[in-house]
Amino acid sequence: MARFHPIDRDSEYLFPPSVQDWLPETHLARYIANVIESLDLTDIERAYAGRGSDAYHPASLMSLLIYGYATGVFSSRRIEMATYDSVAFRYLACNRHPDHDTLATFRRRFLESFKSLFVQVLEIAQANQLSQFGTVSLDGTKIHANASRHSALSYGHAEKIEAQLHEEVQELLALAETADRNDLPEGLAVPAEIARREDQLNAIAAAKAKIEARAKARYEKEKAEFDAKMKAREAKAAKTGKKPRGKPPAPPSATPRAEDQINLTDDESRIMKVAGGGFDQCYNAQAMVDTETMLVVVAEVTQAANDKQQVEPMLAKLQALPTGLNAPTRLLADTGYYSEANVAACREAEIVPLIAVRREGHHPHWRERFTEPEPLAAEASAVETMRHTLKTRVGKKAYGLRKQTVEPVFGIIKSVMKFRQFMLRGLVNVKNEWTLVCLAWNLKRMAVLRPKSVQMT
């Protein structure tokens, strides 16, 4: 006859339980708690006034947020519920239950502090010699904004709706004047209908003003580029005495285009092309990843759908890091980042660039893997030198690290950590949230790479 453990939920503990007995020594929650409690949280602690009842310790709330992002629990309500349902969250909360308002307020209040913690965690990785941070790989991925693309409004469509609403308001006003002689439709409240349309007109006017401001900023940038091109054409004509070939560039216009859009939910997000085809309301999340450990060294978010303009800003953020983290010898990037200016920027930063010049076929002939290019000319430019390096066997092997470092990081963040959409809105907020996501990834990765004795800074 089969034997089973009895179902007994009424027995009392013989000894008081300890949270230290709830998780194995190697559990991720333990590692996150140990690291966060070793960081300098002085600035956050000083922000508390010290009045009223005792507050939850910032290290405990920060650990809950980071472990939540590392395990796919982003909502403050879900984190609160997890402190009841999950042993790991109970451990981090010390068997207490911070409510969702406390967690949401803490995240919103100390968003900027994630940048400092992000750097401190990288310093711990450096102190434990997890990596030499010698080669970094740069890439970007589109992450959905906390807004639907169906909430987007184009300038042309806004003008059509605006004209329609003005007509409806005039019609309702005329109907109100004759209401004593004509029966109104059942349930129609003319003042309420007029007020509703006036609110819509105010919202559309605000949206149009933002689109016009963007158009003005775009015009100023395009005007500078146009003036530079015209100056170059005039200089060439003066030098050669001949009229330059081709049509002169068209002057830019400060008038908004009919297709210029703004999202009414998050007006700082943009319509971008996403993987698999189609377009959605997104931000472009950038990450510079160490190829040795797959740790994110620099995290950034941009509104630009194109990656080509992101090399210099990412290099600037890299160089602002502490010594030992800010001077890799090599940078890997795909063809979306290629330009002569970006190659020059890497050289100026004393970093060897390996940026793909064009897309390569997926199934090259086997001989290509074992052939070397012709020797490089002595007077070769920086771009020619990089092209030559990418054709060598050593260069191909080095560039091959890109696909097995930064792309898997994005894949794990999206598929394992399940972070596919920002919880917050606005460019500044999503930048800080992306830093939090990358901080959670770094701790998750360091928990795998950690030595037996972890040295805290």
DSSP string of 384-426?
Answer: HHHHHHHHSHHHHHHHTTTTTTHHHHHHHHHHTS---B-SS-S
Q: Which residues 6+ apart lie within 8 Å of 108 measured at CB? A: none
pLDDT of 456 strictly over 60: no
Long-range pairs of 452-457 with CB within 8 A, sequence gap ≥ 24 = 454/31, 454/34, 454/35, 454/124, 454/128, 455/124, 455/127, 455/128, 456/34, 456/35, 456/38, 456/124, 456/127, 457/38, 457/39, 457/120, 457/123, 457/124, 457/127
Helix ranges, 241-336 (H): 311-319
Integer Cα distance of 334 and 406 in angstroms = 11
Using alpha carbons, select from 22, 149, 165 the residue that is nearest to residue 91: 22
Give the separation between CA 440 and CA 447, rounded to whole angstroms: 11
Q: Is the pLDDT of residue 180 over 60?
A: no
Residues 11-15 have a mean pLDDT of 69
- Report how far residue 138's alpha carbon sits from residue 406's, in angstroms, rounded to the nearest whole number: 7
Of 81, 84, 38, 85, which Cα lies nearest the Cα of 62? 38
Which of these, 299, 274, 273, 277, lies nearest to 286 by C-alpha position? 299
Tens digit of each residue's pLDDT (9 = 90 or more) over 192-248: 888 999 898 998 888 888 888 888 888 888 888 888 888 888 888 888 888 888 788
Q: What average pLDDT does the segment 397-420 reach?
A: 92
H or E stretch at 70 = helix 58-70
More confident residue, 412 or 149: 412
The answer to whether 106 and 65 have CB atoms below 8 angstroms apart is yes
- pLDDT mean across residues, the chain: 87
> Distance of alpha carbon 344 from its chain centroid, rounded?
26
Which pLDDT does position 452 carry in this prediction? 46
Q: What are the structure tokens assigned to 194, written together?
A: 């007029």
Q: Is the pLDDT of residue 272 over 70?
A: yes
Residue with structure tokens 């919103």?
A: 108
- Which H helix or E strand runs over 282? strand 279-290
Q: Model pTM?
A: 0.85
pLDDT(457) > 50: no
Residue 116, classified by CB atoms within 10 Å of its CB into exposed (0-12), middle (13-18) or buried (19+), is middle
Q: Are 111 and 47 in contact (CB under 8 A)?
A: no
Q: Give the three-state DSSP class for 446.
A: helix
What pLDDT, in 10s, does the model give residues 348-404?
999 999 999 877 666 676 666 667 777 777 778 888 889 888 888 888 888 888 889
User: Among 291, 372, 285, which Cα is nearest to 332's?
Assistant: 291
Query: What is the reported pLDDT for 132?
Result: 86
CB atoms within 10 A of CB 440: 23
Residue 173 has, within 13 A of its CA and on its CB side, a CA count of: 9
Predicted confidence (pLDDT) per residue in 60-92, tens digit: 999 999 999 999 999 999 999 999 999 999 999
Contact 35, 121 (CB under 8 A): yes
Phi, psi of 330 (to 5 degrees): -145, 145
Q: For residues 300 and 314, is the Cβ–Cβ distance under 8 A?
A: yes
Distance CA 112, CA 106 (A): 11
Q: Indicate whether 453 pLDDT > 50.
A: no
Q: What is the pLDDT at residue 395?
A: 87
Contact 267, 210 (CB under 8 A): yes
